[in-house]
Amino acid sequence: MKKLSYLLLVLAFSQIQAQKDFQGMAVYETKTQPPKFEGMRAGNRDITPEMQKNIEERMKQMLEKTFILNFDKSASIYKEEEKLETPGQGNGGMRMMMSSMMGGGGTFYKDVKNKTYTVDKEFMGKEFLVVDSLPKLDWKLEQETKQIGGYNCYKATAVKQASKTDFRNFRPKNNETKKTDEAKKTSGETKTNFEDNFEIPKEIVITAWYTPEVPVNQGPENYWGLPGLILEVNDGRTTILCSKIVLNAKDKVEIKPSKKGKVISQKDYDETVIKKMEEFREMNRGRAGGPPPMGR
């Protein structure tokens, strides 16, 4: 009897230790469909098909990225994979600004146990450390299933408020809005700026696919809250898809938040970015010529 109790104790301790040491890594590929520019204007000029093709190709390159998610039972870090730029493809300041406006940052740390996150961001030459509570989505668990990389996944949907500082949420204005703006421009009330061609929806629908076979409350970016690792997320324009999973690798990764930058809440950071974007927009409003250069 004593021997059996001892074995049960050892087994329980081993399970606790295994959970404590559990760690995984997931690779995610992100792709965002660039907005269409047909019929749009930049300054006092129409965007030609050649300009349109060039802009869309440049944006496509900047919007296709690879990220690494390292996770354990209670926390994770999500970071863009470092790559050497191909000569002649550098986009300089434009790339940095676009990165900041596409949810970009350094290390995105999620603590699902305490429901907080920390992410270091650089914007307009300043370093910020955004610390805030994890957004809680009201996930609706669906019955639909599919396989991703050999894992059985289940569908979940949610609706979230669109961020005004994430360029991926920008949508081309509909025809009615364009007609109103065109009427104002014709009457001399305003001049067309490149950014005036876009608007941001109030809400966006999120579709996620998670697998209970990896039982962690984690996912890419700030997504979490499902009974299994999220392997795919789509908001209609952007798709984040897991391409590789490694569980309990021999070499462990230290999962901890960054400490560099001025500590700021998400709300205050968004207000700072929006203010600078508006200043930039007003400074360029009415200027003749094409859209901001995308690098040479």
Q: pLDDT digits over 212-264, tens only? A: 999 999 999 999 999 999 999 998 889 999 999 999 988 899 999 999 899 99
C-alpha–C-alpha distance, residues 97 and 108, integer Å: 18
Q: Which pLDDT score is estimated for 281?
A: 73
C-alpha–C-alpha distance, residues 163 and 293, integer Å: 24
What's the angle, vertex CA 55, arms to CA 90 and CA 44, rounded to 5?
120
Q: Is the pLDDT of residue 77 over 90?
A: yes
> Which amino acid type is present at position 148?
I
Q: Which pLDDT score is estimated for 8?
A: 40
**CA distances for 21 relative to 143, 229, 252, angstroms:** 32, 17, 9
Q: Which pLDDT score is estimated for 5?
A: 45
Q: Is the pLDDT of residue 16 over 70?
A: no
C-alpha–C-alpha distance, residues 230 and 218, integer Å: 6
Largest Cα–Cα separation, the chain = 93
Q: Average pLDDT over the chain, rounded to whole? A: 77
> pLDDT above 90 covers what percent of the chain?
43
Q: Which pLDDT score is estimated for 237?
A: 84
Q: Looking at per-residue confidence, does 2 or 201 come out higher?
A: 201
Q: Which pLDDT score is estimated for 280?
A: 76
Residue 210 has which token pair? 């998670």
- Span 125-146, average pLDDT: 94
C-alpha–C-alpha distance, residues 206 and 161, integer Å: 10
Q: Which pLDDT score is estimated for 124?
A: 82
Q: Which pLDDT score is estimated for 167?
A: 64
| pLDDT band (50, 70, 90) for residue 296 | very low
Burial class (CB in 10 A: 0-12, 13-18, 19+), 183: exposed
- Span 266-272, average pLDDT: 91
Residue 64 has which token pair? 């296709």
Give the torsion through C-alpha atoms of 45, 49, 50, 52, to 10 deg.
80
Q: Which pLDDT score is estimated for 220?
A: 96
| pLDDT band (50, 70, 90) for residue 27 | very high
C-alpha–C-alpha distance, residues 258 and 271, integer Å: 22
| pLDDT band (50, 70, 90) for residue 290 | very low
Q: Is the pLDDT of residue 89 over 90?
A: no
Q: Is the pLDDT of residue 69 over 60?
A: yes
| pLDDT band (50, 70, 90) for residue 10 | very low
- Span 44-67, average pLDDT: 73
Q: Domain limits of the chain?
A: 23-284
Residue 115 has which token pair? 């429901």
pLDDT tens, residue by residue, 164-211? 667 676 666 665 555 555 555 555 554 445 456 567 778 889 999 999
Of 53-62, 92-101, 152-161, 273-282, the least confident: 92-101
Length of the chain: 296
Residue whose tokens read 């990389």:
149
pLDDT tens, residue by residue, 170-180? 666 665 555 55
Q: Which pLDDT score is estimated for 62?
A: 73
